A = this chain, B = another copy of it.
Amino acid sequence: MPTKAKRWVLALRPEGKPKVENFRLEEIELPEIGEHEILIRTEHHSVDPGMRGRLSGDSYTSALPLGQTIDSAMVGVVEQSRNEKFKPGDRVTGGFGWVTHAISNGRGVQILPPEMYHGKLRPTAAIGVLGIPGLTSYFGLLDLGRPKEGDTVLISSAAGPVGATAGQIAKMKGCKVVGIAGSKEKCDYVKGLGFDACFSYRGADLKAAIREHCPEGVDIYFDNVGAEMLDAAILNMKEHGRIVVSGQVSEYNRADNELVGIRNVTRFITHRLRMEGLVVFDYFKQFREAQAEMAQWIHDGKLTYTEDVSDGIEGSAAAFIGLFEGENLGRRLIKVS
């Protein structure tokens, strides 16, 4: 029997900030599953600022074709299976996008082991703190930032899922951690996570505000924002400081010729700075080990995560657009069923 499903597709390439008209919610009928296939019912899918690039076709993965399902991670339940590796009721994660249901041959689909996902570790963590955002924090901070005890770590978008996780890991490594976020409420949340300090960028003289909170200078700047914020951080870096380019959310909606970038490149010489970007998939072979370590931290109460969940797949596009307004506090997810 065919399954009625819904999915969001790319209707029109956005210029600048995405609008609801760039997306279209479609009703489709999925065929019956074939041999070796499974039918997954989505419970939650994510909305990710980094996906903005594919909408314009200027990102590292090829541009998303018009009419194609919008990309994202999802957590769901196997409803039907003709694949021996899966049985109905298995909770799984995969990259099927903004959909209510998906058919798969099982490739790239992981079963969430119930002995790992219990108590404080909810299944949605698989597409959050143990998924791409959390792994970006983990490898960006530890492999590129290389924190040492006593280092001062500055983190932008500190109330977002990447920044919040990076800051907590930096605290575990004995660093002083300062966050930058978009409101007093977000800063209160960030300080509640154990950050030593946090300030709002709104209306701030960024260079002076960073200096005030990091008077001894910054050893590691974990950047999720880019542009003026990155440039102000550069002016506060200590010698041999490391800049982790994790995200550049303030640039994602800008056309190539409108990018702001940074001016203070001469500081790279005078202060021997290093700036490095990452795409977390490069660490794929180390994912399992990192996830096990972070899972243990969560069960032990050393690492917490926050989800910002809206109900219903009808709101996916608006929730995505809101990411660029700084609406979310924690990992933004859509509860689909």
Across-interface contacts of A262 in B (CB, < 8 A): 261-262, 265
The secondary-structure label for the interface of chain A is loop
- A222-273 at interface with B (beta carbon < 8 Å): 226-227, 230-231, 245-248, 251-252, 259-273
Inter-chain contact B279/A265, CB cutoff 8 Å: no
- Copies assembled: 2
Tell me, yes or no, whether A275 is within 8 Å of chain B by CB: yes
Binary contact track A43-72/B, C-beta < 8 Å → 1, others 0: 000000000010000011000000000000
Tell me, yes or no, whether A311 is within 8 Å of chain B by CB: no
Instruction: Identify the closest chain B residue to A261 (Cβ).
Output: B263
Inter-chain contact A270/B265, CB cutoff 8 Å: no
Tell me, yes or no, whether A174 is within 8 Å of chain B by CB: no
Across-interface contacts of A271 in B (CB, < 8 A): 60, 277
Inter-chain contact A272/B266, CB cutoff 8 Å: no
Across-interface contacts of A290 in B (CB, < 8 A): none
Q: How many residues of A contact B (CB 8 A)?
A: 35
Instruction: Identify the closest chain B residue to A262 (Cβ).
Output: B261
Inter-chain contact A269/B265, CB cutoff 8 Å: no
Tell me, yes or no, whether A12 is within 8 Å of chain B by CB: no
Q: How far is the CA of A271 from the CA of B282 in the complex (A)?
A: 11
Tell me, yes or no, whether A276 is within 8 Å of chain B by CB: yes
Inter-chain contact B282/A277, CB cutoff 8 Å: no
Inter-chain contact B276/A273, CB cutoff 8 Å: yes
Across-interface contacts of A278 in B (CB, < 8 A): 269, 272
Inter-chain contact B265/A245, CB cutoff 8 Å: yes
Inter-chain contact B269/A279, CB cutoff 8 Å: yes
Across-interface contacts of A251 in B (CB, < 8 A): 265-266
Binary contact track A132-173/B, C-beta < 8 Å → 1, others 0: 000000000000000000000000000000000000000000
Q: How far is the CA of A331 from the CA of B279 in the complex (A)?
A: 41
Q: How far is the CA of A245 from the CA of B243 in the complex (A)?
A: 15
Across-interface contacts of A263 in B (CB, < 8 A): 259-261
Write the nearest CB–CB distance from A181 to chain B, whole angstroms: 21
In-complex Cβ contact of A261 among B53, B264, B270, B276 (8 A): B264
Q: How far is the CA of A175 from the CA of B278 in the complex (A)?
A: 25
Tell me, yes or no, whether A299 is within 8 Å of chain B by CB: no
Across-interface contacts of A260 in B (CB, < 8 A): 263
Tell me, yes or no, whether A19 is within 8 Å of chain B by CB: no
Across-interface contacts of A247 in B (CB, < 8 A): 269
Q: How far is the CA of A264 from the CA of B226 in the complex (A)?
A: 10
Across-interface contacts of A248 in B (CB, < 8 A): 265-266, 269
A-side residues, CB < 8 A to B, are: 53, 59-60, 226-227, 230-231, 245-248, 251-252, 259-279, 282
11 A–B contacts, CB within 8 A, in A order: A53-B266, A226-B265, A246-B269, A247-B269, A248-B266, A259-B264, A259-B266, A261-B261, A267-B277, A269-B278, A274-B277
